[in-house]
Amino acid sequence: MSRIFLGLLAIPLLAYAGNPIDRGGGPFINSTLTPPARVPAAVLPPPGPRVEESDRQVTLAGAWSAADTSLGWSGGSAMESTAAGATASITFTGSSIRWIGSRGRLMGIASMSVDGGPAREVSLFGRPTDEAHTTVVTLSDLGPGQHTLVITVTGRKEGQSDGNKIVVDAFDIDPGNTISHWQDTDPRFAYTSKWTKSDIALPFSGTGVSNLPELPVSAHETATAGESVTVPFRGTGIAWVGYRGPDAGIAIVQVDGNPQGQVDLYSPTVSYQPVVYAIAGLADADHSLKIQATGGRNAASSGSRVVVDAFDVTTPGRRYEQYDPAITYVGAWTFDNNARVWTEGVTATSNQKGATATFRFTGTSVTWIGCEKGSAGGVANVFIDGTLVKEVRLSQNYPIEGYQMPVFRADGLPNGPHTLQIEVTNTDGSYVVVDAFDVR
């Protein structure tokens, strides 16, 4: 297994000292609307069953221990191992399975096999700080019936990794959907004025790397009553990844303008990257999620802090990663760029005029999952079945950074085989990112 790293996007890990943030607040005051009862923490369920690592369906052999309890794992816990030869196995009935785990600076290399077949190695190393409850890999086209997936800890790591941990958090059986992890810096999000950047030294999603002199992605937070963020999305569900702790407050959530209730974020212990609110079962259409700080708090809390770290958006269909053989690359492309929180950890990138990526698929809808930011702000022409349909401009000014974004989508195609081609057209050295493609 080899990795090639992209220089402009793969900046060495940075350490910063964050500034303290005023986390004061007062008694809970609901001055905006009267919501339903408070909403407890939730985990976004996939269409197929989610199997936690603690389920009897999962067998752990060898040396495993509880993963970092300060991270918000699916189901509240996860298991980790650095012991070469330790295994995690699951027997399931279905044709696909999604492994939910962790990716980051402390992660190593695992080997996977299905039904005793050929082993495939996967590196969980990524340059941002360790991500909780993230999709490590989705295995599709296994054929209907019973299968057994075995994950083996190799004890090895990439040269730049600070560890060789492998984390098993959960599994989704026949998920039938895709999950995109959107950072708080996404260009589509509308924040009111009194949100501040969270401490970049804390283990928020996506932090730890940046292009100097920019600061790393961290999170947005506020303790001011009435401050809000609105997140537009298309899909069937969304999960708010936030923060719980002894200084956390209370927020009000609305979906498509309909009040969903109050979310009490207080916890006597700190939890980073937990799913604090989720909704599923929506129509596959355009929606909006609004989070509004109340300035209030649980009686046991010392503050009214509301943190927006990231969002996991669920869309029906199947995801084809940038390494899939259905994609043909022509020209200068750099593969396995692991500098940010990409889907399954890596992307393909190019800044060469005329370079192309051609995806062959069968379906009625296709989405290019990419990136919008300063150093990945290239320009590309998009062709469907050989016809130019759109010029896509990806540039955004810091601190706006959008990852795992649907930068192009085409619907209403005849149900049959098609091609989507991306052609890099800019000449200024900016990169075009191919992260994945989603097909319905």
pLDDT of residue 46: 39
How do residues 61-105 score in pLDDT, each as one tens digit? 999 999 999 999 999 999 999 999 999 999 999 999 999 999 999
Is 161 in the same domain as 260? no
pLDDT of residue 384: 98
Is 110 in the same domain as 195? no
Buried b or exposed e, range 179-203, using 16+ CB within 10 angstroms: bbbbbbbbeebebeeebebbbbbbb
Whether 259 is covered by a domain: the verdict is: yes
The percent of residues in the chain predicted with pLDDT above 90, rounded, is 88
Whether 285 is covered by a domain: the verdict is: yes
Cα dihedral value 232, 219, 130, 91, nearest 10 = -30
Is 105 in the same domain as 162? yes
pLDDT of residue 34: 30
pLDDT of residue 13: 30
Amino acid occupying residue 197: K
Whether 42 is covered by a domain: the verdict is: no
Is 140 in the same domain as 248? no
Is 258 in the same domain as 159? no
Instruction: Please say if the pLDDT value at position 26 is more than 90.
Output: no
Instruction: Please say if the pLDDT value at position 2 is more than 90.
Output: no
Mean pLDDT, the chain, rounded, equals 90
How do residues 404-426 score in pLDDT, each as one tens digit? 999 999 999 999 999 999 999 99
Total number of domains in the chain: 3
Three-state SS sequence of the chain = CCCCCCCCCCCCCCCCCCCCCCCCCCCCCCCCCCCCCCECCCCCCCCCCEEECCCCCEEEECCCEECCCCECCHHHCCEEECCCCCEEEEEEECCCEEEEEEEECCECEEEEEECCCCCEEEECECCCCCEEEEEEEEECCCCCCEEEEEEEECCCCCCCCCCCEEEECEEEECCCEEEEEEECCCCCCEECCCCEECCCCCCCCCCCCCCCCCCCCCCEEECCCCCEEEEEEEECEEEEEEEEECCEEEEEEEECCEEEEEEECECCCCEEEEEEEEECCCCCEEEEEEEEEEEEECCCCCCCEEEECEEEEEEECEEEECCCCCEEEECCCEEEECCCCCHHHCEEEECCCCCEEEEEEEECCEEEEEEECCCCCCEEEEEECCEEEEEEECCCCCCCCEEEEEEEEECCCCCEEEEEEEEECCCCCCCEEECEEEEC
Is 406 in the same domain as 380? yes
Chain-centroid distance of CA 177 in Å reads: 14
Tokens of 388: 């130019």
Of the three residues 257, 281, 316, the one that is the final residue of a domain is 316
How do residues 146-156 score in pLDDT, each as one tens digit? 999 999 999 99
pLDDT, mean of residues 218-234: 98
Instruction: Please say if the pLDDT value at position 30 is more than 70.
Output: no
Q: How many C-beta atoms lie closer than 10 Å to residue 396's C-beta?
A: 18
Is 189 in the same domain as 96? no
Model confidence band, residue 165 (pLDDT cutoffs 50, 70, 90): very high
pLDDT of residue 24: 28
Q: Which domain holds residue 408?
A: 318-439
pTM: 0.89
Sorted by sequence, the CB contacts under 8 Å of residue 399 that are 6+ apart come out as: 185, 197, 214, 215
Instruction: Please say if the pLDDT value at position 35 is more than 50.
Output: no
Q: Does 43 or 11 have the greater pLDDT score?
A: 43
Q: Does 254 or 336 have the greater pLDDT score?
A: 254
Is 397 in the same domain as 354? yes
Of the three residues 175, 210, 231, the one that is the final residue of a domain is 175
Q: How far is CA 327 from CA 46, 323, 436, in A?
A: 27, 7, 10
pLDDT of residue 195: 98
Tokens of 217: 């992605």
Count of alpha carbons within 13 angstroms of residue 119, beta-carbon side: 11
Instruction: Please say if the pLDDT value at position 31 is more than 50.
Output: no
Is 304 in the same domain as 336? no
pLDDT of residue 23: 25
pLDDT, mean of residues 186-202: 98
pLDDT of residue 205: 98
Is 367 in the same domain as 273? no
Is 138 in the same domain as 59? yes
pLDDT of residue 272: 98
Whether 24 is covered by a domain: the verdict is: no
Whether 28 is covered by a domain: the verdict is: no
